[in-house]
């Protein structure tokens, strides 16, 4: 017998398991924080669909003073297509109606056709509006400055561009990354702009790596948003290869990050990088076509679970 109840803080683990199963979580969001905020704010809550004592579905909802909102609608795989999602939405609508909320909104990713069709089937329609977003505070998901015994990693900035350009035009360096083609000035400018803007827009990006003693530029390493994933990567100057520096700083960066999951792409024949990625705790998942700036390339795809 199924029934719906309000979630409590004791349900956090069960809720996040369902969200993970339904692929609702994103590496840059901590689902535990979302649940705690929803359950401790008077204008929001989370409703759970239970089969006896087992939690099989959830929906987060709230009222912002103007409209109601629905988030995180999720139903365990074996209970999908049995009316469970519809039942949760109806209960969420009732919660909002009791509070005299005149209209409810929700957001769907452009690529999620199945979810769009589900909501259309229960009376929702595209309002033909554009959803825009902006971080209201600088929310850094990793420290801007990180030190190890031999290295210092700082937020990549304009002062690092000359050293980066010199490194990336080394034949052995550019052959080991992307599609092996020579990087033009336009390629370099586009890359460094992504590094710099990533810090502004996402709260994380690439660090410039330098030696602690002499401030020599060693390379770059860090994170970037890649679709629904956070991708980890690094590029090191050839003269610092084979010294254990990559392993040293990348271990520190990964340990200090707060991401729930991190992915990495490596060329199948780049055995040195495969060795490093594996030692960093990444697990081989499959081979994927990686869409680069110029070509689609087959690469090994690795995954590392985070905090």
The count of domains in the chain is 2
In the chain, where does DSSP find H-type helix? 12-21, 31-40, 84-98, 113-121, 161-168, 171-174, 185-202, 245-256, 271-279
* Residue 15 resides in a domain: yes
* Rounded alpha-carbon distances, angstroms, from residue 129 to 106, 107, 125, 126: 12, 11, 11, 8
Do 50 and 178 have their domain in common? Answer: no
Task: Kindly report the CATH number assigned to the domain that includes residue 34.
Answer: 3.40.630.30
Residue 296 falls inside a structural domain: yes
Which residue range(s) make up the domain with 16? Answer: 2-121
Q: Is 131 within a domain?
A: no
User: What pTM value is reported for the model?
Assistant: 0.69
Return per-residue pLDDT of the chain as tens, 307 residues.
Answer: 899 999 999 999 999 999 999 989 887 778 998 999 999 999 999 999 999 999 999 999 999 999 999 999 999 999 999 999 999 999 999 999 999 999 999 999 888 889 999 999 999 999 988 888 776 655 566 778 999 999 999 999 999 999 999 998 888 887 777 665 677 888 888 889 999 998 888 889 999 999 999 999 999 999 998 888 899 999 999 999 999 999 999 999 999 888 888 999 998 988 899 999 999 999 999 998 876 655 677 889 999 986 5
With respect to residue 139, please indicate whether it lies within any of the assigned structural domains: no
CA distances from 40 to 8, 35, 49, 188 (A): 9, 9, 20, 47
Task: Please tell me whether residues 184 and 272 are part of one structural domain.
Answer: yes
């Amino acid at each position: 017998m199924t029934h719906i109840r309000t979630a409590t803080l004791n349900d956090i683990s069960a809720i996040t398991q369902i969200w993970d199963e339904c692929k609702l979580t994103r590496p840059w969001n901590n689902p535990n924080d979302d649940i705690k905020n929803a359950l401790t704010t008077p204008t929001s809550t989370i409703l759970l669909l239970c089969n006896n004592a087992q939690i099989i579905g959830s929906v987060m909802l709230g009222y912002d003073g103007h409209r109601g909102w629905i988030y995180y609608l999720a139903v365990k795989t074996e209970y999908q297509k049995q009316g469970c999602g519809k039942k949760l939405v109806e209960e969420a609508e009732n919660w909002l109606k009791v509070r005299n909320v005149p209209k409810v909104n929700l957001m769907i990713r452009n690529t999620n056709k199945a979810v769009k069709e589900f909501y259309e089937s229960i009376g929702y329609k595209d309002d033909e509006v554009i959803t825009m977003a902006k971080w209201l505070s600088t929310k850094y998901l990793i420290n801007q400055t990180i030190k190890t015994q031999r290295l210092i990693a700082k937020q990549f900035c304009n002062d690092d561009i000359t050293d980066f350009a010199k490194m990336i035009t080394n034949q052995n360096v550019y052959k080991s990354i992307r599609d092996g083609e020579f990087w033009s000035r336009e390629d370099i400018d586009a890359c460094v702009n992504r590094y710099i803007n990533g810090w502004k827009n996402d709260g994380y990006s690439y660090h410039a790596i330098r030696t602690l003693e002499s401030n020599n530029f060693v390379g770059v390493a860090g994170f970037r948003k890649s679709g629904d994933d956070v991708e980890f990567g690094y590029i090191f100057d050839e003269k610092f290869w084979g010294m254990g520096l990559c392993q040293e700083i990348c271990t520190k960066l990964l340990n200090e990050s707060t991401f729930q999951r991190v992915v990495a792409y490596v060329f199948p024949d780049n055995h040195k990088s495969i060795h490093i990625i594996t030692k960093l705790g990444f697990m081989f998942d499959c081979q994927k076509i990686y869409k680069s700036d110029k070509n689609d390339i087959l690469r090994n795809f690795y995954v590392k679970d985070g905090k």
